């Protein structure tokens, strides 16, 4: 077990420094925060700081991100670590809070002295932490699916090589939705940034394909009941596009069922709505026959790859995307692969840069920028991806699945090119 919670009060030194007899200073150094770490060197572990949403609104995701992290670190270390160094992941809870998320980055950089930070998920936390990561000259590799990195408004230290961003995801959905579900779309989305991304990118993609967005229904962030918004859905709607997130999702679906009954328009949603939610939950029957975007198919498909099988095995997830020890404990399968893949990308880039310590940080990031493609493999079980070193963003396949017998069955896999869009800038022109 190499993943462990950080212990600021604990006294973690590697073998060599211990041998150098620094015990004399132990009294001072045992005080919280006054721990000095030796520079990483040959034989020293590579330390990765991993901020996890253990508490707060992101806790459902955080729990699974941490499990994937543990499994991935174990696998990397079994295979000899990174460039011969054992990997040590130091986890800190950020409370899904932008301020705490930033403080945690500072803690990683100045107290734990990690080599890189990776794993942040919720966009508001990423945006808050990113400028500080740049100032602290800390490689900051996120697993967020937000468009923040690819918008090239952060800084050269920020990367998202493990998961496609929302702009690309949304854009690649539009052609299939237009062709198979209908051309008149009503969108229901949360009235905050995540929802606005969907609104803007999907509307644009629909227009480009000759469709029409007939109504936009933003739901206030404090809403717990949705019925009162349904009358705003025009009768001409052919497709209802929904991206509700958070604990209100089941309510949303149930109320949708009560409101429309069987006379409903086609439904297309983002699986973010039902991540970590059992599809066999009461009220979700209503989703039968509707379609979802999935970043990675939760239910093992008939043509499941050996890599996906391996990934599930190591993380402890069964064929239904739930924990092997508790079938009711459903994973955030559509997103959590990003933690796994990101760790292997860090490994690849560090080894390419011949990384043995922080003095090679810049070389590591340049190596990361130089990566072009990740073939489908054990390291990349979600599928092949193309990395854009200029925007620090990766692009991959997306899945459209239909709910059949309370399971999601993949009916369409987009091409990587479906999700491509012109670069919005170039990080490599910025300085480190």
The footprint of another protein on residues 130-189 (CB under 8 A) is 130-132, 134-135, 146, 148, 153-155
Q: Which is nearer to another protein, 231 or 375 (CB)?
A: 231
Q: Which is nearer to another protein, 135 or 313 (CB)?
A: 135
Q: How far apart are CA 384 and CA 396, in angstroms?
A: 6
Q: Are 14 and 38 in contact (CB under 8 A)?
A: yes
**Which of 83, 183, 209, 260 touches another protein (CB under 8 A)?**
260
Q: Which of residues 377-416 bind another protein (CB under 8 A)?
A: none
303 binds another protein (CB under 8 A): no
Minimum CB separation from another protein for residue 402, in Å?
A: 23
Q: Which of residues 352-381 bind another protein (CB under 8 A)?
A: none
Q: Which is nearer to another protein, 185 or 330 (CB)?
A: 330
39 binds another protein (CB under 8 A): no
User: DSSP characters for 143-206?
Assistant: ----STTTTT-S-TTEEB-SS--HHHHHHHHHHHHHHHT-SEEEEEEESSHHHHHHHHHHHHHH
60 binds another protein (CB under 8 A): yes
Minimum CB separation from another protein for residue 198, in Å?
A: 12
Q: Which is nearer to another protein, 24 or 261 (CB)?
A: 261
Q: How far apart are CA 256 and CA 395, in angstroms?
A: 33
Minimum CB separation from another protein for residue 422, in Å?
A: 21
Minimum CB separation from another protein for residue 383, in Å?
A: 27
- Residue 112 is classified by DSSP as I
**Which of 248, 316, 357, 425 touches another protein (CB under 8 A)?**
248
**Which of 204, 214, 215, 283 touches another protein (CB under 8 A)?**
283
Q: How far apart are CA 276 and CA 247, in angstroms?
A: 10
Minimum CB separation from another protein for residue 282, in Å?
A: 5
Give the up-direction half-sphere exposure of residue 175: CA atoms within 13 A in the CB hemisphere.
Answer: 13
Minimum CB separation from another protein for residue 261, in Å?
A: 5
Q: How far apart are CA 81 and CA 64, in angstroms?
A: 22
Q: How far apart are CA 237 and CA 243, in angstroms?
A: 17
**Which of 16, 18, 23, 34 touches another protein (CB under 8 A)?**
34
**Which of 14, 81, 184, 191 touches another protein (CB under 8 A)?**
191
Minimum CB separation from another protein for residue 403, in Å?
A: 17
Q: Which is nearer to another protein, 12 or 209 (CB)?
A: 12
Would you call 140 helix, strand, or coil by DSSP?
A: strand
**Which of 15, 228, 372, 429 touches another protein (CB under 8 A)?**
228
Would you call 18 helix, strand, or coil by DSSP?
A: helix
Return the closest-CA partner of residue 129 out of 107, 112, 150, 147.
Answer: 107
**CA-based max dimension of the chain:** 78
Give the range of 29-37, 80-88, 298-306, 386-394 binding another protein by CB under 8 A. 29-37
Q: Which is nearer to another protein, 332 or 382 (CB)?
A: 332
Q: How far apart are CA 18 and CA 124, in angstroms?
A: 40
Q: Which is nearer to another protein, 14 or 60 (CB)?
A: 60
Burial letters for 31-65: b for 16+ Cβ neighbours within 10 Å, e otherwise? eeeebeeeebeeebbbbbbbbbbbebebebbbbbb
Minimum CB separation from another protein for residue 60, in Å?
A: 5
The interface mask with another protein, positions 62-91, x = CB under 8 A, is: xx----------------------------
Return the closest-CA partner of residue 179 out of 109, 266, 53.
Answer: 266
Q: Which of residues 100-129 bind another protein (CB under 8 A)?
A: 100, 102-103, 106-107, 109-111, 123-124, 127-129
Q: Which is nearer to another protein, 221 or 289 (CB)?
A: 221
Q: How far apart are CA 166 and CA 372, in angstroms?
A: 20
The pair of structure tokens assigned to 401 is 């699945």
Q: Are 311 and 381 in contact (CB under 8 A)?
A: yes
Task: Using alpha carbons, list the distances in angstroms from residue 411 to 119, 307, 405.
Answer: 30, 20, 14
Q: Which of residues 196-225 bind another protein (CB under 8 A)?
A: 196, 217-225
């Amino acid at each position: 077990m190499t993943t462990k919670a950080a212990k600021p009060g604990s006294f973690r030194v590697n073998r060599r420094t211990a041998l150098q007899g620094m015990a004399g200073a132990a009294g001072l150094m045992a005080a919280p925060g006054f721990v000095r770490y030796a520079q990483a060197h040959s034989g020293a572990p590579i330390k990765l700081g991993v901020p996890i949403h253990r508490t707060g609104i992101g806790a459902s995701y955080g729990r699974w991100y941490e499990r994937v992290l543990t499994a991935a670190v174990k696998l990397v270390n079994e295979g000899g670590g990174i460039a011969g160094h054992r990997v040590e992941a130091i986890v800190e809870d950020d409370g899904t809070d932008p301020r705490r998320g930033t403080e945690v980055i500072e803690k990683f950089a100045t107290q734990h002295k990690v080599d890189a930070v990776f794993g942040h998920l919720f966009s508001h936390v990423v945006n808050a932490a990113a400028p500080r990561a740049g100032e602290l000259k800390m490689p900051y590799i996120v697993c967020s699916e937000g468009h923040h990195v690819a918008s090239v408004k952060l800084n050269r230290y920020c990367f998202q090589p493990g998961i496609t961003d929302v702009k690309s995801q949304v854009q690649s959905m539009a052609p299939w939705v237009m062709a198979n579900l209908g051309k008149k779309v009503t969108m229901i989305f949360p009235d905050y940034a995540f929802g606005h991304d969907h609104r803007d990118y999907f509307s644009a993609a629909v227009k480009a394909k000759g469709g029409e967005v007939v109504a936009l229904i933003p739901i206030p962030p404090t809403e717990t009941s949705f019925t009162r918004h349904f009358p705003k859905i025009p009768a001409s709607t052919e497709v209802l596009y929904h991206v509700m997130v958070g604990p209100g999702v089941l309510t949303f679906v149930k109320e949708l069922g009560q409101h429309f009954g069987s006379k409903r328009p086609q439904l297309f949603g983002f699986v973010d709505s039902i991540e970590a939610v059992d599809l066999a939950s009461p009220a979700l029957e209503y989703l039968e026959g509707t379609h979802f975007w999935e970043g990675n198919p939760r239910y093992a498909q008939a043509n499941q790859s050996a890599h996906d099988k391996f990934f599930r095995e190591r993380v402890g997830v069964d064929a239904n995307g739930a924990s092997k020890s508790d079938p009711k404990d459903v994973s955030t399968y559509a997103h959590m692969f990003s933690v796994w893949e990101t760790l292997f990308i860090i490994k690849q880039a560090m080894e390419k840069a011949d990384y043995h310590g922080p003095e090679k940080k810049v070389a590591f990031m340049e190596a990361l920028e130089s990566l072009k493609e990740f073939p489908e493999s054990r390291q990349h079980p979600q599928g092949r991806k193309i990395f854009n070193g200029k925007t620090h963003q990766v692009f991959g396949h997306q899945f459209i699945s239909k709910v059949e017998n309370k399971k999601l069955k993949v009916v369409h896999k987009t091409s990587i090119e479906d999700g491509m869009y012109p670069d919005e800038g170039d990080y490599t022109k910025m300085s480190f």
